[in-house]
Amino acid sequence: MHAGLKITTFAAALVATFGTAYGVGKGIDPVVEDSPPARHESHGEASPSPEGGGGHAGHEAEPAGGLQISDKGYTLDLETPRVTAGDRADLRFVIRDSGGRAVTAYQREHDKELHLIVASRDLVTYRHLHPTRAADGTWSIPVELPRAGGYRVFADFTPAKKNAENLTLGADLAASGPYQPQQLPAPNTTAKINGYEVRLDGGLRPGTAGELKLKISRNGRPVTDLQPYLGAYGHLVALRSGDLAYLHVHPNGEPGDGTTRPGPDISFTATAPSSGTYRLFLDFKHAGKVHTAAFTVRAGAAQAPETGPAQAHEDESSDGHGH
């Protein structure tokens, strides 16, 4: 998959809270809060994996791109900037070109025209979604966010235009209701989710490419029959705590390349944009269901020892995936 990593930072701001209620008034625009620069990595580029062969390179990182609401003539128009926590709502948005027209043609990447990530500012709730596009260019998907607070929406896509670049645009989403701040989960190298245990070896290094190896087991036995999900055996999103700098990188190797095995190991190559604390979310598919394992890691510092495997929060489970 792609060896490179694209990362862009953006300013952070926290929506005001009143008493125990978190809400946004009529006259307040969506806000950027503190809570996964890089653009979506795509297959078939030239950099090799650290193991040689089967690797993928990403686009070159651009310091000014990535998580802006507008970039290179395209804008993320989030038509649903507010929802109510715990209620199912239709999340709707449009990608507009420099003339304000809705974009209706996209390149397919990893089996989809557009990938949508929704994450809470505290990095506890995470969704990897795949909305449906109407003929007029409006994208929509039902969502139900469990807790009140600030969220960030990332739209990852490439317009169907000659020489078009992959873009990741971001917008703020507010969920109203009683607000209770959550602590960032402690650093961990083992995550448990739905009976699976995922072990993380390696770490993020600021400014230097490094390998992340994840090993998946179930009931104490290595999982050796992972199923392809969006054209890969695993997908990894990282969000930097504090400003939600975003990166999305895919594994070294892919199903059907003759060398990549369907588990239990998945290997990624990634470069952290800076030191700091990051939350990693690994999506993998087994026995017909997609699961998400989450980790907290520190780039530029040794990992703190664990007291035991971290349990994945229920918000990060496979029911958070939309297709």
Q: Does 115 fall in a domain?
A: yes
Structure tokens at 21: 């209620």
Q: Do 42 and 141 lie in a common domain?
A: yes
Q: Do 38 and 100 lie in a common domain?
A: yes
8-state DSSP, 205: B
- Residue 28 has a CB neighbour count (10 Å cut-off) of 13
Q: Do 173 and 199 lie in a common domain?
A: no
- Residue 316 has a CB neighbour count (10 Å cut-off) of 26
Query: In CATH, what number is assigned to the domain containing residue 288?
Result: 2.60.40.1220
| Distance between CA atoms of residues 227 and 261, nearest Å | 10
Q: Does 6 fall in a domain?
A: no
Q: Does 4 fall in a domain?
A: no
- pLDDT tens for the chain, 323 residues: list them: 343 344 333 333 333 333 333 443 333 333 333 333 333 433 333 333 333 333 333 333 333 234 789 999 999 999 999 999 999 999 999 999 999 999 999 999 888 999 999 999 999 999 999 999 999 999 999 999 999 999 999 999 999 999 998 888 999 999 999 999 899 999 999 999 999 999 999 988 888 888 999 999 999 999 999 999 999 999 999 988 988 888 877 789 999 999 999 999 999 999 888 899 999 999 999 999 999 999 999 998 655 445 444 444 444 443 456 54
Q: Do 27 and 61 lie in a common domain?
A: yes
Q: Do 226 and 275 lie in a common domain?
A: yes
Q: Do 144 and 247 lie in a common domain?
A: no
Q: How many residues does the chain have?
A: 323
Range of the domain at 280: 190-320
Is 284:291 a contact under the CB 8 Å cutoff?
A: yes
The pLDDT assigned to 271 comes to 87
Number of domains in the chain: 2
Place of tokens 């971001």: 170
| Distance between CA atoms of residues 192 and 47, nearest Å | 32
Is 275:206 a contact under the CB 8 Å cutoff?
A: yes
Q: Do 149 and 36 lie in a common domain?
A: yes
Those residues with Cβ within 8 angstroms of residue 307's Cβ, 6 or more apart along the chain or in another chain: none
The model's pTM = 0.76
Q: Does 11 fall in a domain?
A: no
Q: Does 10 fall in a domain?
A: no
